[in-house]
């Protein structure tokens, strides 16, 4: 008798959804590039930041930038 349960870890995601996700990341990374004033040399940083936003995770760079912009809590104490 065959086991009818599928393992989630072995299931492959739909290739179209992966392409769509990559396109969303690409577009957001370009927006970040434009926001920076089209300054070259930050492509990896922009890509990782875009990935973090798309997947709902806050990157270390974003957290650091937020602390710098608003002042860290330690500096207020």
pLDDT at 24: 94
Q: Give 13 or 20, the one with higher predicted confidence.
A: 20
Using DSSP's 3-state secondary structure scheme, residue 56 falls into coil
Sign of CA dihedral 35, 36, 39, 42: negative
| Ranges of each domain in the chain | 15-70
Q: How far is CA 36 from each of CA 33, 42, 47, 62, rounded to the nearest angstrom? A: 5, 9, 13, 14
Tokens of 2: 């065959």
pTM for this predicted structure: 0.55
In this predicted structure, what is the pLDDT of residue 57?
73
Q: pLDDT tens, 14-59? A: 777 889 999 999 999 999 999 999 999 999 999 999 999 999 876 5
């Amino acid at each position: 008798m065959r086991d009818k349960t599928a393992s989630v870890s072995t299931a492959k995601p739909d290739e179209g959804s992966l392409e769509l996700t990559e396109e969303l990341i690409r577009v957001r990374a370009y927006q970040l590039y434009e926001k920076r004033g089209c300054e070259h040399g930050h492509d990896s940083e922009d890509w990782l930041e875009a990935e973090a936003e798309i997947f709902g995770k806050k990157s270390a760079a974003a957290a650091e930038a937020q602390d710098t912009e608003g002042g860290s809590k330690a500096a207020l104490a």
